[in-house]
Chains A and B, each alone.
Chain A
Amino acid sequence: DAGVIQSPRHEVTEMGQEVTLRCKPISGHNSLFWYRQTMMRGLELLIYFNNNVPIDDSGMPEDRFSAKMPNASFSTLKIQPSEPRDSAVYFCASRKGTSGYEQYFGPGTRLTVT
């Protein structure tokens, strides 16, 4: 199995631009998570999906952030408009089943907003 795939691996953009991060979970996993990691705030859960349905989006910072999961093999995290404080590493993770199983993390997307 290829593991969780994220693209792009690095993204540099200017403030105000739209940014779209992509994730392909492990086949057969039905839960998908988006995290943001910064030195100051650590690893924060932004949103998670179960069977393509958003279950908890309380971690999404503000309306500039949106996430979709149109099917079991693809998810996007969009930031529009982007701001310098959005600079972070964004991780996608997937999991088989619900509570009680481990998460498998992708390699992350390093986002820099100038």
Chain B
Amino acid sequence: SQQGEEDPQALSIQEGENATMNCSYKTSINNLQWYRQNSGRGLVHLILIRSNEREKHSGRLRVTLDTSKKSSSLLITASRAADTASYFCATDSWQGGSEKLVFGKGTKLTVNP
């Protein structure tokens, strides 16, 4: 089963608004990553947050991590039409002596101009 589960599955907002997406997971992690995928394209890495970090910023992106709740959120501020894409969280953990990388099913974000 998927380790990371994004919420909501789909989000539609107006340009200029903020978009918040959440990711929940089940096991202890080394780090959590957020990726973006435009329709018909490969995934692009946005930001990585390690298990000992609580918050990270990159431009208009803000990621938080709460290991006690096993959850993370991605906030996109002042959204633009070009932010329309699917956003995925990916958990990186050690299980059974090997690294496990699991992607969630994503949040489809639509930013209306």
A interface list, Cβ under 8 A from B: 4, 33, 35, 42-45, 48, 55-56, 91, 93, 98-108
Contacts and interface: CB of A to CB of B under 8 A. Distances in A.
Contacts, number: 56
A102 B45 contact: yes
17 contacts: A35-B103, A42-B2, A43-B103, A43-B106, A44-B103, A48-B99, A91-B43, A93-B42, A99-B94, A99-B99, A100-B31, A100-B50, A103-B43, A105-B42, A105-B43, A106-B42, A108-B41
Contacts of B98: 55-56
B103 A99 contact: no
Contacts of B41: 107-108
Given A99-B92, A102-B33, A42 B45 contact: no
Interface of B: 2, 30-31, 33, 35, 41-45, 48, 50, 88, 92, 94, 98-106
Contact of B30 (A4, A45, A99): A99
B42 A48 contact: no
Main secondary structure of the interface of A (DSSP, over half): strand
Which residue, B2, B33, B42, B92, has most C-beta atoms of chain A within 10 A?
A: B42
A94 to B, nearest CB: 11
Contact of B101 (A4, A33, A106, A108): A33
Nearest to B92: A99
B68 to A, nearest CB: 21
